[in-house]
Amino acid sequence: NGYNALHLAALNNKKDTELIELLLTNMSLNSINKKDRWGDTPLDRAYKYNKSPIKQKIIDLIRSKGGKRG
């Protein structure tokens, strides 16, 4: 479906941002802004589907590394 690890972490992480921080440190900007088959970037996935208390923290982290919405 065109997902990468950041798509899944942005969508599913509910308790901490450790994994997202690790991924962002080791991913290229192209990977951070990769669109899945529906045209969603990892940042889109966080906005649309992450319903956790750390949602805004995840969004801020991805944006701080150049993440954009699809």
Task: Kindly report, residue by residue over 16-44, the tens digit of the pLDDT.
Answer: 999 999 999 999 999 999 999 999 999 99
3 touches 9 (CB < 8 A):
no
Count of CA atoms in the C-beta half-sphere (13 A) of 36:
16
The predicted model scores a pTM of 0.94
User: Which pLDDT value is given to residue 24?
Assistant: 97
Residue 3, both tokens: 């997902």
49 touches 33 (CB < 8 A):
no
Q: CB 24: neighbour CB atoms within 10 A?
A: 20
User: Which pLDDT value is given to residue 9?
Assistant: 97
What mean pLDDT is reported for the chain?
A: 97
Q: Percentage of residues in the chain with pLDDT exceeding 70? A: 100
